[in-house]
Amino acid sequence: MLTFDDGPARALPAILDILRSEEVQAVFFWQTRLLHSSRPWKRVLDEGHLVGSHSTKHRNLTRLSFEEQLADLSSSKRIISEITGQDVKYFRPPFGQYNNDTISAASVLGMETMMWRIASMDWETADNPGQIIKYVTDHLENKAIILLHELPQTVQILPELIREIKQRGFQFRLPDSFKA
């Protein structure tokens, strides 16, 4: 499963063009401070992708009380739902940092916390985007959730990454069909 964090960002339209061209659906985890009605969120949903919460402001939630975490996630879920008209089923903690309060807050709000199995390291490879492909393909396995970001270097390698994963016999799935 391909997942993209930290959007919606400027790279989103290019990522969507590639995903459409390669016939792949993905999950986008968005910071709601970046989500405005003018962003191409409708296209994301129209093309079969999912949107999850990545919190409101991308803070390390483990530094907050349960009540503060609950308020942040509740606000994020509400904003995404109000703009998109869709329920938010998935949450990914910023920086991958969470504690029992984080999981509990997401659960209270009916969101499943979704981590990743493979970190592409795309946020560290602006000077060598080809390294992203190596990070991912060296660790491929069944039902792997791949962490990517809405970044220019990710756009640059995404078609090749998708083709390489497909050539290795893997298929892309969304969470509901992923669990079966």
Please tell me the predicted confidence (pLDDT) of residue 105.
Answer: 97
- pLDDT (tens digit per residue) in 108-129: 999 999 999 999 999 999 899 9
User: 72: domain range?
Assistant: 2-178
pLDDT per position as a tens digit, 99-112:
999 999 999 999 99
pTM for the predicted model, two decimal places: 0.93
Number of structural domains found in the chain? 1
Pairing of strands 90-91, 26-30: unpaired
For position 4, what pLDDT does the model report? Answer: 97
Q: What is the pLDDT of residue 165?
A: 97
- 101: domain CATH number? 3.20.20.370
- pLDDT above 70: residue 180: no
Burial class (CB in 10 A: 0-12, 13-18, 19+), 38: exposed
| Location of structure tokens 């969304």 | 174
Closest to 91 measured CA to CA, from 75, 108, 73, 104? 73
Q: In 3-state terms, what secondary structure has residue 159?
A: helix
Q: Inform me whether the pLDDT recorded for 90 exceeds 50.
A: yes
